[in-house]
Amino acid sequence: MARYSRRLSMKSKKRFSLHEIASTQPFRGVLLLAGLFCILGSTSSVDGSVADKKWRFPVGLAYGSGLKDVGDAMEAAAPVDVTTWPVGLHFDPYYSLNDRFGVGGSLGPVVIMLGDLNAVIVPVGVDVRLNLLPGKSTSIYARGGVRYPIANGDLLGDGKAGAFGGIGVAIGRNRAVAWGLEASIDTSKVEVTTLSGFVTESVKPYEFMLSIIAEF
């Protein structure tokens, strides 16, 4: 295994780099959007009630069903061992246009793989949402949009944008912090390559997701 690890470190063309991730246009765009959300959210009127907040900031921990498939494809592409935790953090700020509709962005679930292989996947996206129970402290909602996975590191090629859709429930939206669950699907893909850069497979890392969410 040590021999293969040294070979990988010498020949891999794509090394894990936070600087490369941060320099991509999609990542910068989502950071700009998130920063704008935070600035406007801090200055927006609450109209005397937490329930009337226009800007909301959900933070969650999500399980991605396809992340293990990414690791399996890497092991098939090169003689290495890959350990992948199929969970990651995500941030999905949004603005409520009215009591039914909202628009927002998403960052994550971010997944980092370290060890014989160093790699990171950072999905970014935009979406619209529909509140199915307007005016209630418990909300059932649906949302849909587009996501693009920024992939960087050993044995990872380009990301491919895909459609995203989810349905969830948020409890206690009239309080400072609401809690919720969300189930979603994501058709975006990442390419897995050999050491020489040949694409062997395109995998959907977040084909199905289940999230626990705190909404501020």
pLDDT of residue 102: 95
End-to-end CA distance of the chain: 46
Please give the pLDDT value at position 47: 42
- Assess if residue 117 is contained within a domain: yes
- Total tally of structural domains belonging to the chain: 1
d(CA 104, CA 25): 18
Residue 75 lies inside a defined structural domain of this protein: yes
- Do the domain assignments include residue 65? yes
133 is in which domain, residue-wise? 2-42+54-215
How much is the pLDDT for 45?
39
Query: Does 49 fall in a domain?
Result: no
pTM above threshold 0.75: no
E-state strands within the chain = 55-56, 58-64, 87-91, 94-96, 101-113, 119-131, 138-153, 156-160, 162-171, 178-186, 189-193, 199-203, 208-215
Residue 47 counted as domain residue:
no
- Domain of residue 109, CATH code: 2.40.160.20
Between the alpha carbon of residue 3 and those of residues 9, 10, 12, 79, 194, the distances in Å are 10, 11, 14, 10, 17
Q: Could you read off the pLDDT tens digit of each residue along the chain, which spans 216 residues?
A: 333 333 343 344 344 444 454 455 545 554 555 555 445 444 443 344 555 678 999 999 999 988 888 888 888 887 777 777 888 999 999 999 998 999 999 999 998 877 677 888 999 999 999 999 988 888 899 999 999 999 988 888 889 999 999 999 999 888 889 999 999 999 999 998 877 667 788 899 999 999 999 999
Confidence (pLDDT) at 207: 93
**Has residue 201 been placed in a domain?**
yes
pLDDT for 37 equals 46
Query: How far from 42 is each of 109, 126, 168, 172, 189, CA to CA, in Å?
Result: 24, 21, 25, 21, 35
Domain assignment present for 48: no
173 in a domain, yes or no?
A: yes
